[in-house]
Amino acid sequence: MLAIKNIEWIGDARAGRLRLLDQTKLPEQVVYLDCDRVEQVADAIKCLAVRGAPAIGVAAAYGCVIGVQAAGPEGAGASEAQRDALGQAASLLASSRPTAVNLFWALDRMQCVSAPTPDALLAEARAIHEQDAAMCEQIGRNTVALIEKAVRAGRPAVLTHCNAGALATGGIGTATAGMYLAKQNKLAFRVYADETRPLLQGARLTVFELLIAGIDVELICDSAAAQVMRGGEVGMVITGADRIAANGDSANKVGTYSLAVLARHHGIPFYVAAPSSTFDRAIADGAGIPIEHRDAEEIVNGFGRRTAPSEVVAHNPAFDVTPHELIEAIITEKGLIQPVNADTVAQVLGMSVTV
Ligand code: MRU
């Protein structure tokens, strides 16, 4: 399990600060960013120092505490000043990234705190953090049987994309949660991790954390997935999600959709692992999910090395949407949504998306 903390509150509510593991520096350096201004938290989310849908939500929740620290001393009018400061912090943080709905879910929860003192907000941020960890554990428990089934069927490899791991959440990850528990249960499985162009979250982050856990992981180029699947060893594909519409259409890191198409062609079940906080049931289907477009420099000048002529035009959607028909099941903390459609999403999640 990952011993390194990706998100940590240091100190008390009134003068404390948010410590974030700077994921842009991994795997070469383990460096932390200490944030005592809400702008720093928003920038850390934008530049992917903290990333992954649940982790973005947790970091933003703590960011709200920082936003209110500066609202002035206690006393007459304090509550109004704190409410204003909270609103401003939340709107800045909400503008940091558009796709991961956990961000907006966490900010809504923070804004529902009735007397938004730093102490009350820190308690709520800690609750969001702890609940995310609990949801990851339960997702893991709900995934292990699927890994075991694949192992028993003689297809012991799990293929994953991007990083839906401990680094991306407040706990043991979503897509990786079952892997960690399967390792504890001594299941003989292995993992293929897609590199995940252009920012290499699979290579830099998933491989980093799975190796620390002693999980048998092999890195592949994204474009090798079809060839690896044809080899017959892959028993399941499992990814995370950034936003899931009411009918189960799921947005995740660009390249996920093509994996789902490939998995269908090869008869391999494609699973999405996500907590209820990743569902946006106000959106009927995937067409309504906002897709982040990032700077073309990430493709043509990634990590400071120019790999295409400088005059080229590059198109860089950071996410894609996998249609629900291609998803064998969505693994949530509340159980499996299977088959995936609007009715089963509503049945498993019930009316509320909170835990
Ligand atoms: O751009 P990123 O690195 O934030 O993208 C992250 C992903 O796509 C993850 O798969 C997703 O957020 C799920 S994290 C449990």
CATH code of the domain covering residue 203? 3.40.50.10470
In this predicted structure, the answer to whether residue 50 has a pLDDT above a threshold of 60 is: yes
Residues 236-253: pLDDT tens digits?
Answer: 999 999 999 999 999 999
- pLDDT for res 354: 42
93 falls within a domain: yes
- Is 36 in the active site? no
CA of 319 to the centre of ligand 1 (A): 9
If asked whether residues 162 and 287 sit together in one domain, one would say yes
CA of 52 to the centre of ligand 1 (A): 4
Asked if residues 251 and 244 have their Cβ atoms less than 8 Å apart, the reply is yes
- pLDDT for res 75: 62
DSSP 170: S
Tell me the β-bridge partners of 18. 9, 35
Domain boundary among 107, 131, 155: 131
Residue 231 backbone phi and psi in degrees, to 5: -65, -20
- Burial label for 34, CB within 10 Å (0-12, 13-18, 19+), is exposed
Direct distance between the N- and C-terminal alpha carbons of the chain, in angstroms, rounded to an integer: 24
CATH code where residue 100 lies: 1.20.120.420
Does residue 202's CB lie within 6 angstroms of at least one atom of ligand 1? no
Catalytic residue among 222, 242, 280, 320: 242
322 falls within a domain: yes
1 falls within a domain: no
In this predicted structure, the answer to whether residue 220 has a pLDDT above a threshold of 80 is: yes
CA of 291 to the centre of ligand 1 (A): 13
CA of 253 to the centre of ligand 1 (A): 6
* Count of domains observed in the chain: 2
If asked whether residues 190 and 330 sit together in one domain, one would say yes
User: Closest Cα to atom 6, ligand 1: which residue?
Assistant: 52
Closest listed residue to residue 20, CA positions, set 50, 48, 53, 43: 50
What mean pLDDT do residues 321-337 have? 98
Distance CA(132)–CA(54), nearest Å, equals 7
Domain containing 41 equals 7-131
If asked whether residues 302 and 278 sit together in one domain, one would say yes
If asked whether residues 305 and 209 sit together in one domain, one would say yes
How does strand 217-220 pair with strand 190-194? parallel
If asked whether residues 197 and 73 sit together in one domain, one would say no
What mean pLDDT do residues 215-230 have? 98
If asked whether residues 155 and 264 sit together in one domain, one would say yes
If asked whether residues 184 and 290 sit together in one domain, one would say yes
Please choose from 51, 104, 294 the residue to mutate so as to test ligand 1's pocket, defined by most ligand atoms within 8 A of CB.
51
Residues 251-305: pLDDT tens digits?
Answer: 999 999 999 999 999 999 999 999 999 999 999 999 999 999 999 999 999 999 9
If asked whether residues 96 and 245 sit together in one domain, one would say no
If asked whether residues 95 and 152 sit together in one domain, one would say no
If asked whether residues 114 and 170 sit together in one domain, one would say no
The proportion of the chain whose per-residue pLDDT surpasses 70, expressed as a percent, equals: 97
- pLDDT for res 353: 44
- Encoded tokens for 201: 């979250």
pTM of the full structure: 0.96
> Strands (DSSP E) along 55-147, which ranges?
none
Closest-lying ligand 1 atom to the alpha carbon of residue 174: 15
If asked whether residues 106 and 192 sit together in one domain, one would say no
Domain boundary among 80, 106, 131: 131
Does residue 286's CB lie within 6 angstroms of at least one atom of ligand 1? no
If asked whether residues 177 and 266 sit together in one domain, one would say yes
Q: Does residue 275 have a cis bond before it (omega within 30 degrees)?
A: no
343 falls within a domain: yes
- pLDDT for res 355: 36
Residues 129-142: pLDDT tens digits?
Answer: 999 999 999 999 99
